Amino acid sequence: KAGVTQTPRYLIKTRGQQVTLSCSPISGHRSVSWYQQTPGQGLQFLFEYFSETQRNKGNFPGRFSGRQFSNSRSEMNVSTLELGDSALYLCASSPQGSGIMNTEAFFGQGTRLTVV
């Protein structure tokens, strides 16, 4: 079974630009969550999607948005990039929400975003 796939692996953008990151979950997983990892703040929850609907949201500004498609693939978008958005963005998929409780989240390798 293929794991969680995130593309691209590395990205360099300029301040003020926007960026779109992609995540393909494990086949059969309908829940996709996004996290931001920075040295100062650690791993922080951005949002979670299930069946194309955002179910949970973390404390990030509106510049951070996401969506999920009917095949459970998800994208996150960051607009008007700031230097502080430089981070490792991780996507995780979970079978939870499909009648399965208390299981783990499976993480992708992440996208390293550098804003210059």
Partner 1 sequence: DQQVKQNSPSLSVQEGRISILNCDYTNSMFDYFLWYKKYPAEGPTFLISISSIKDKNEDGRFTVFLNKSAKHLSLHIVPSQPGDSAVYFCAASAGRQGAQKLVFGQGTRLTINP
> What CA–CA distance (Å, rounded) separates 40 from 31?
27
List 55, 69, 80, 84, residue binding partner 1 (CB under 8 A): 55
Establish if 24 lies at the interface with partner 1 (CB under 8 A). no
> What CA–CA distance (Å, rounded) separates 44 from 1?
27
Interface with partner 1 in residues 79-108 (CB under 8 A): 90, 92, 94, 96-97, 101-108
DSSP 81: -
Q: Which stretch binds partner 1 (CB under 8 A): 12-20, 39-47, 64-72, 76-84?
A: 39-47
**Contact by Cβ (8 Å): 45, 35:** yes
Residue 69 corresponds to which amino acid?
Answer: F
Q: Which stretch binds partner 1 (CB under 8 A): 14-22, 53-61, 65-73, 76-84?
A: 53-61
Q: Compute the least distance from the CB of residue 11 to partner 1, in Å.
A: 14
Closest CA to 63 of 43, 85, 42, 44: 85
DSSP 98: S
Binding interface with partner 1 (CB under 8 A): 4, 6, 31, 33, 35, 42-45, 48, 50, 55-56, 58, 90, 92, 94, 96-97, 101-110, 112
